[in-house]
Amino acid sequence: GENVEQHPSTLSVQEGDSAVIKCTYSDSASNYFPWYKQELGKGPQLIIDIRSNVGEKKDQRIAVTLNKTAKHFSLHITETQPEDSAVYFCAAGYGQNFVFGPGTRLSVLP
Amino acid sequence: NAGVTQTPKFQVLKTGQSMTLQCAQDMNHEYMSWYRQDPGMGLRLIHYSVGAGITDQGEVPNGYNVSRSTTEDFPLRLLSAAPSQTSVYFCASSKNSGLGGEQFFGPGTRLTVL
């Protein structure tokens, strides 16, 4: 089955700097890659997603890149703000379901 | 439009007790799923359903049962609670399955089994 790895597990950046979180997946059949943000005490919320026929997607300060050949995808957050502090999960759409990475705790320091 | 709702928010059980975690969505989504979230392990799929009357097992189904009698509701039953089932449980729904479509998550149920 599918396996998703995510690095780093924790990340601290200064406000205004960029943050990058990387994920790898194992099954080339996966073709949908969402990113979720989870704030303390809440359920995960989709922030951006990308399909396997697209290499990059941007939404304001957030971007995701996908390298199908290498089976990895990354989340890029620019001009980080304190409200970006949260746990971020990547996932791979596999068959009828999703497989999630273990998460990255991002802290944006003022 | 309430989205995905879960009850209860918190629950403490003793080993061997049974209970049902409730999940409901008002978006007319066909796909619903249950995950458990444990520290450092992300979200692991317990059971899922692609429509009323259809359920299937996920990655960690042992000790849990589900049913889907209506499109709106997808309850998760713990048959005989064990300390290993202490976790945060999330229900999610989406219009499509893992082949592409935003999953909407409920607020979660924090379960402690003593």
Determine whether B8 is exposed, middle or buried from the number of CB atoms within 10 Å of its CB (0-12, 13-18, 19+): exposed
Which SS3 state, helix, strand or coil, does residue A5 take? Answer: strand
Compute how many other C-beta atoms are within 10 angstroms of the C-beta atom of residue A72.
16
pLDDT band at A107 (very low <50, low <70, confident <90, very high): very high
Contact B105 A43 (CB under 8 A): yes
Smallest Cα distance from B84 to chain A, Å: 18
pLDDT number for residue B100: 67
pLDDT in tens, B6-26: 999 999 999 999 999 999 999
Contact B48 A103 (CB under 8 A): no
pLDDT number for residue B98: 61
Give B33's contacts in chain A (Cβ within 8 Å): 97
Q: Does B75 touch chain A (CB under 8 A)?
A: no
Give the whole-angstrom CA distance, residue A75 versus residue A65.
7
Give the whole-angstrom CA distance, residue B98 versus residue B53.
19
| Nearest CB to B103; choose among A94, A96, A98 | A98
Average pLDDT over residues A86-92: 96
pLDDT in tens, B86-105: 999 999 999 877 666 788 99
Give the whole-angstrom CA distance, residue A69 versus residue A63.
19
